[in-house]
Amino acid sequence: MSHDHKVASVAFLIADRARVAMLMFLLDGKARPAGELADVAGVTAQTASSHLSKLLAGELLAVETTGRHRHYRLANAHVAAALEKLAVVGTLQPSQQKRENRKIQELRFARCCYDHLAGRVGVVVTQAMQRQDLLVAASDKRFDVTAAGVDWFYRFGLDMGQWDLRKRDSAHQCLDSTEHQHHLAGALGKQFMSTLCSKGWLYRQERSRAVYVTPAGWGGLKKLLDVDAQSFLQAE
C-alpha cells in the first residue's frame, strides 16, 4: 500500500464520530470490551462490531482474546501519538465550551498520553528533570539519560538495566498537544508513570484520561524535583 493510500485509509476511518469516540476512549492505553466501547460511542452492539472490524483491518486497533472475551486497545503508541495531535486540530463551539470547560481543564492539567504522563504536569516534570541534568534533549527527538539520571531513576524504583538507552524508543520527546512543549515518552516514560501510580503519587480514573496528583505525590515531586503544587494553583 502506498503512503498516500495509507493516509487516505486512516483519514476515512477517523472521519466517523463513533469510531473517533472509541479511539479517543482507548487513549488511556487500556483494553476495553466491545460493549463498553459501544456505550461510549452511543451505538448498538452490532454497529460497534462493524466499526471495530474496520479499525482492526485498518491497523488502528489490536484485539486481545481470552476464551470468548475480546478486548480492544490501540494498536501501538504511534496511533496514540497521532490521535493526541489530532485532538487539538479543532476547537469547541461556543455552546460546548461551558459544558466541557472543567473536563478540558482536567485533561490539560494532567492526563495519560497512552502510557505516559502528559499535560502541564507531564511537561513541568520533564523540564524539572532537564534542569537537574537527569535528561538532555538530543537529536531525533530523543532524550539522553545522563549518568546522574540513570542513578536517579534507579533509586526511584525503575529497572534501568532492561533498556538500551541509546535507542529512541527508550526515552523520547513527545510534543504535548495542549502545552505545545515536550514531555517524556518511550519505555522510560511508561515505567516512570507506572511507578508514580504504584507509589500512590498519581491516581487514574477508570473511564477518563485525566490523572490526579495525590497529596503524597505533590510532596514527593516537591522533594525530588522541586515541582510545587502552589505554583500550578497560582498559574490557573
What CATH code would you report for 3-75?
1.10.10.10
| pLDDT for 203 | 92
User: pTM of the prediction?
Assistant: 0.70
- The C-alpha cell 481470552 sits at 66
In 3D space, the residue among 206, 174, 201, 178 whose CA is nearest the CA of residue 187 turns out to be: 174
The residue ranges of every structural domain in the chain are: 3-75, 94-235
- Counting Cα atoms < 13 Å in the Cβ hemisphere of 67 gives 2
| pLDDT for 168 | 57
The low-confidence residues of the chain, meaning pLDDT below 50, are 91-97, 235-236
